[in-house]
């Protein structure tokens, strides 16, 4: 598996995310789930990825995160070719460069809100260092992020399962942002929120991404959110394969 | 290292979060630890207690019979002798060149269930216990006059005796109708310091005193119409004609085999000499099967506890897939997930073992007086011995192995799930 940018002459190092001729197959399946000739995200760019369920959105995020390896093709993140990294290196790289927000149940129930936010700093020394450099200490950075995401200090002492879903998602956003990763991946982060809260959450998230200059990959099937993004990608159009066989 | 200590902390918090379920597992591991170590402790300490009672004795000599029986009655005053040995043989043995000392012992009487041992001053001088300790008086004096009795620490404590107390001995060991030697009362002259051996539960009188109280007896009963008072008895020849057994110490230990052969081939009467160590080995090999069975059962109980541990962690994994995916998204490697899960199991095992050890200490403290009173077995609180450490190590290793099973499952799960878990 080569790691060249391809004959078209694009420079993969110029992108936050760069996929070329990526084919992904689940073990035991005949047809590939994903077959993407080219997909790229510039640094600081906010990309809205839409597609029906089963179109391979989560698989695409898994490839970018280095959780899955493509059958063929190359994946670059921050100019680093993931194909060349071993799985432990990819895990470290993910911890260093990518922040995640999931659909729901984002928080670890037995950790405090602050500990949940600090989780990436525990696994990535790089993010710990960056948080310290920015705010003096990782905890100070976490508190700052929580306040910027409208979570007042009066809530911080609560067990995480006593927070509302919207509050939980904002804690998750703070965790994704702590230590300033260059890429944020949000996998349907708003689908468990009601319509009003969706907009509010998205505004907060986009604002923070702008101020930290992080690229954002935002996956949703809710087209109404797309208007706030600079780039909108429809996965079935990117993907030559028809998505997952089942479901 | 920092990552490991964080994972350990995380494992602790995760386990604490599910303390309700895991508490039961901790309990069952604690129970198996108590059982396994308790049996081991009892086993080794009972042996120790036996071995310590005959330190320094090279040979036990008695009338020919069962060697184990001879040792049990000569040293532990358990059971009775079927035959006695002649006093002349005992004297001849004592005069041999290779013999350093002899302790003649005559048994048969008792006092309120405690055995009365008739012996000589040699007993107090040469008897050794716990490798090299000698008997000491806690109170009073050694035997000075004919009807003096020195009593063991336990006897004194239980019966509430102090020096100058007058007591009557009973004929025979234990039974419903004991005839008391009320006509010849004894005076407690001294009380021995506690030894942790059968000595604590005995009473010691001189060989002559044993003769004296039986002077007007024949065939195990008083001669009708014959009364010889305590004052008159001194006029009789009180040298014994037979004794029950004799403990022998040699000048050189290496002579013991030759000397044993000499005793076993004794011309004038059938005698036998047994080496305490050899007899004890025989005894242990007899009880060994039972001990092994007990250890096996408690090992099985432990295995059950650990299987429960694996099952509990495994069952918990299903609902924790989400949690593991979050950790993975924050940069945790599948190896970290494996370590995390294994640590959780390890923490549970260690807390179980600690609880079990504490319970064992409490238990030993509670039952040791009961064992000492009723069986003369001395069990005491002690830090774990080598064998117990080995067992503890085995429990911990087995626990780690048991938690490795769910840990590997978590590892595989986090590999295949990645960051997306369908719930």
Query: pLDDT tens digit string along A93-113?
Result: 888 999 988 887 788 889 999
| Residue B269 and residue B147 share a domain | yes
- pLDDT at residue A247, as a whole number: 38
B394 in a structural domain: yes
What b/e sequence results for A213-227 when a residue is b if at least 16 CB atoms lie within 10 Å of its CB, and e otherwise? ebbbbbbbeeeebbe
Task: Please list the pLDDT of chain B residue by residue as tens digits (423 residues).
Answer: 778 889 999 999 988 988 888 899 999 999 999 988 888 888 888 888 778 777 788 999 999 988 888 888 888 887 777 788 999 999 999 999 999 999 999 998 888 888 899 999 999 998 888 778 889 998 899 998 889 999 999 899 889 999 999 998 888 765 556 678 888 889 999 999 988 788 888 999 999 998 888 877 776 677 777 777 777 777 778 888 899 999 999 999 888 999 999 999 999 899 999 998 888 888 888 888 888 888 888 889 888 888 888 888 888 887 788 888 888 888 888 888 899 989 989 999 999 999 999 999 999 889 887 877 666 677 777 788 888 888 889 888 898 888 888 888 888 877 766 666 543
- pLDDT at residue A243, as a whole number: 57
For chain B, what is the radius of gyration of the CA atoms? 31
Query: Residue B194 carries which DSSP code?
Result: P
- Interface check for A110 against chain B (CB to CB < 8 A): the answer is yes
Report whether A96 contacts A181 (CB < 8 A).
yes
- pLDDT at residue B259, as a whole number: 92
- Which chain B positions have a beta carbon within 8 Å of A98's beta carbon? 329
| Residue B246 and residue B183 share a domain | yes
Of residues A183 and B383, more confidence is placed in A183
B400 in a structural domain: yes
- Interface check for B332 against chain A (CB to CB < 8 A): the answer is yes
B423 in a structural domain: no
| Residue B96 and residue B14 share a domain | no
Task: Give the nearest partner residue to A91 out of B6, B325, B331, using CB atoms.
Answer: B331
| Residue B365 and residue B251 share a domain | no
Joined together, the tokens standing for residue B170 give 């009973």
Cβ pair B331:A102 closer than 8 A: no
- pLDDT at residue B281, as a whole number: 87
| Residue B40 and residue B78 share a domain | no
- Which chain A positions have a beta carbon within 8 Å of B21's beta carbon? none
Task: Give the nearest partner residue to B418 out of A67, A98, A124, using CB atoms.
Answer: A67
B100 in a structural domain: yes
B219 in a structural domain: yes
Total structural domains in chain B?
2
> Crossing angle for the helix pair B386-417 and B19-52, nearest 10 degrees?
160
- Interface check for B333 against chain A (CB to CB < 8 A): the answer is yes
| Residue B257 and residue B135 share a domain | yes
How far does A9 lie from chain B, in Å, by closest CA? 32
| Residue B136 and residue B42 share a domain | no
B282 in a structural domain: no
Kind and range of the H or E run holding A30: none
Domain containing B345 equals 2-50+288-417
Spatial CA neighbour of A111 closest among A77, A158, A67: A158
- pLDDT at residue A246, as a whole number: 42
> Crossing angle for the helix pair B386-417 and B276-329, nearest 10 degrees?
20
Task: Give the nearest partner residue to A123 out of B13, B330, B418, using CB atoms.
Answer: B330
Q: Which residues touch B292 (CB under 8 Å, ≥6 apart)?
A: none
- Interface check for A100 against chain B (CB to CB < 8 A): the answer is yes
In angstroms, rounded to a whole number, what is the distance separating the alpha carbons of residues B26 and B354? 10
- Which chain B positions have a beta carbon within 8 Å of A61's beta carbon? 419-420
Spatial CA neighbour of A220 closest among A51, A4, A14: A51
- pLDDT at residue A194, as a whole number: 81
Q: Report the DSSP pairing between strands A231-234 and A46-50.
A: parallel
Per-residue pLDDT tens over the stretch A11-53: 888 889 999 888 888 888 888 888 888 898 999 899 999 888 7
With 0-12 / 13-18 / 19 or more C-beta atoms within 10 angstroms meaning exposed / middle / buried, residue B7 is buried
Q: Which residues touch B236 (CB under 8 Å, ≥6 apart)?
A: B211, B212, B215, B228
Give domain limits for chain A: 43-61+85-238
| Residue B238 and residue B107 share a domain | yes
- pLDDT at residue A47, as a whole number: 92
Choosing among A63, A122, A160, which should be mutated to test the B contact, i.e. which has the most B CBs within 10 A? A122
Q: Which residues touch B370 (CB under 8 Å, ≥6 apart)?
A: none
| Residue B199 and residue B141 share a domain | yes
B346 in a structural domain: yes
B280 in a structural domain: no
Task: Give the nearest partner residue to B13 out of A95, A102, A111, using CB atoms.
Answer: A111
- pLDDT at residue A9, as a whole number: 60
Tokens 């702590």 correspond to A178
Cβ pair B3:A122 closer than 8 A: yes
How far does A68 lie from chain B, in Å, by closest CA? 8
Query: Residue B1 carries which DSSP code?
Result: -
- pLDDT at residue B421, as a whole number: 54
Report whether B145 contacts B185 (CB < 8 A).
no
Mean pLDDT computed over every residue of chain A:
85
Choosing among B4, B6, B20, B330, which should be mutated to test the A contact, i.e. which has the most A CBs within 10 A? B330
| Residue B63 and residue B46 share a domain | no
CB pairs A-B closer than 8 Å: 73
Q: Which residues touch B343 (CB under 8 Å, ≥6 apart)?
A: B7, B8, B11, B12
| Residue B100 and residue B30 share a domain | no
**Homologous superfamily, domain A43-61+85-238:** P-loop containing nucleotide triphosphate hydrolases (3.40.50.300)
Report whether B378 contacts B42 (CB < 8 A).
no
Report whether A75 contacts A39 (CB < 8 A).
no
Q: Which residue of B has its CA nearest to A159?
A: B17
| Residue B37 and residue B181 share a domain | no
What mean pLDDT is predicted for residues A85-95? 86
Tell which of B249, B274, B299 closes a domain.
Answer: B274
Q: What is the pTM of this model?
A: 0.73
Tokens 């238990």 correspond to B363
């Amino acid at each position: 598996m080569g790691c060249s940018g391809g004959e078209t002459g694009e420079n993969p190092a110029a992108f936050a995310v760069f996929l070329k001729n990526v084919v992904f197959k689940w073990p035991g399946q005949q047809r590939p789930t994903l077959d993407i000739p080219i997909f790229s995200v510039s640094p600081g760019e906010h990309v809205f990825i839409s597609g029906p369920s089963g179109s391979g959105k989560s698989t695409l995020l898994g490839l970018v995160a280095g959780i899955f390896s493509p059958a063929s093709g190359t994946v670059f993140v921050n100019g680093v070719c993931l194909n060349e990294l071993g799985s432990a290196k990819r895990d470290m790289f993910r911890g260093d460069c990518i922040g995640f927000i999931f659909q729901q149940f984002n928080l670890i129930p037995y950790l405090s809100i602050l500990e949940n936010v600090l989780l990436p700093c525990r696994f990535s020394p790089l993010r710990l260092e960056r948080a310290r450099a920015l705010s003096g200490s990782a905890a100070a950075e976490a508190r700052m992020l929580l306040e910027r995401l409208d979570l007042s200090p009066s809530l911080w002492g609560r067990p995480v399962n006593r927070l509302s879903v919207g509050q939980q998602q904002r804690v998750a956003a703070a965790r994704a942002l702590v230590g300033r990763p260059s890429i944020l991946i949000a996998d349907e982060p708003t689908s468990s929120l009601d319509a009003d809260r969706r907009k509010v959450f998205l505004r907060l998230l986009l604002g923070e991404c702008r101020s930290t200059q992080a690229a954002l990959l935002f996956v949703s099937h809710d087209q109404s959110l797309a208007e706030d993004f600079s780039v909108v990608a429809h996965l079935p159009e990117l993907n030559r394969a028809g998505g997952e066989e089942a479901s | 290292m920092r990552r490991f200590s964080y994972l350990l902390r995380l494992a602790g918090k995760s386990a604490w979060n599910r303390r309700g379920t895991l508490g039961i597992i901790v309990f069952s591991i604690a129970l198996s630890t108590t059982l396994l170590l308790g049996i081991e402790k009892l086993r080794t300490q009972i042996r120790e207690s036996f071995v310590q009672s005959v330190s320094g004795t090279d040979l036990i000599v008695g009338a020919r019979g069962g060697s184990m029986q001879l040792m049990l009655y000569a040293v532990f005053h358990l059971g009775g002798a079927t035959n006695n040995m002649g006093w002349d043989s005992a004297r001849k043995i004592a005069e041999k060149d290779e013999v350093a000392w002899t302790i003649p012992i005559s048994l048969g009487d008792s006092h309120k269930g405690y055995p009365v041992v008739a012996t000589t001053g040699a007993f107090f001088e040469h008897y050794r216990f716990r490798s090299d300790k000698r008997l000491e008086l806690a109170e009073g004096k050694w035997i000075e006059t004919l009807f003096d009795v020195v009593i063991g620490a336990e006897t004194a404590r239980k019966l509430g005796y102090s020096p100058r107390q007058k007591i009557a001995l009973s004929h025979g060991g234990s039974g419903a109708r004991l005839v008391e030697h009320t006509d010849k009362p004894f005076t407690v002259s001294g009380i021995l310091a506690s030894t942790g051996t059968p000595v604590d539960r005995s009473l010691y009188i001189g060989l002559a005193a044993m003769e004296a109280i039986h002077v007007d007896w024949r065939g195990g009963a008083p001669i009708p119409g014959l009364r010889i008072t305590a004052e008159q008895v001194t006029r009789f020849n009180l040298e014994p004609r037979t004794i029950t057994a004799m403990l022998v110490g040699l000048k050189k230990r290496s002579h013991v085999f030759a000397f044993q052969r000499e005793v076993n081939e004794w011309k004038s009467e059938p005698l036998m000499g047994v080496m305490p160590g050899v007899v004890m080995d025989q005894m242990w090999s007899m009880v060994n099967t039972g001990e092994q069975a007990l250890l096996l059962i408690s090992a099985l109980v432990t295995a059950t506890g650990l299987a429960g541990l694996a099952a509990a962690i495994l069952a918990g994994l299903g609902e924790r897939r989400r949690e593991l995916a979050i950790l993975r998204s924050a940069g945790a490697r599948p190896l970290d997930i494996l370590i995390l899960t294994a640590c959780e199991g390890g923490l549970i095992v260690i807390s179980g073992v600690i609880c079990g050890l504490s319970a064992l200490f409490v238990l030993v403290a509670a039952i040791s007086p009961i064992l000492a009173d009723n069986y003369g077995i001395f069990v005491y609180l002690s830090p774990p011995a080598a064998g117990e450490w080995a067992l503890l190590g085995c429990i911990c290793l087995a626990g780690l192995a048991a938690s490795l099973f769910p840990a590997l499952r978590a590892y595989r799960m986090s590999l295949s799930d990645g960051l997306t878990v369908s719930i």
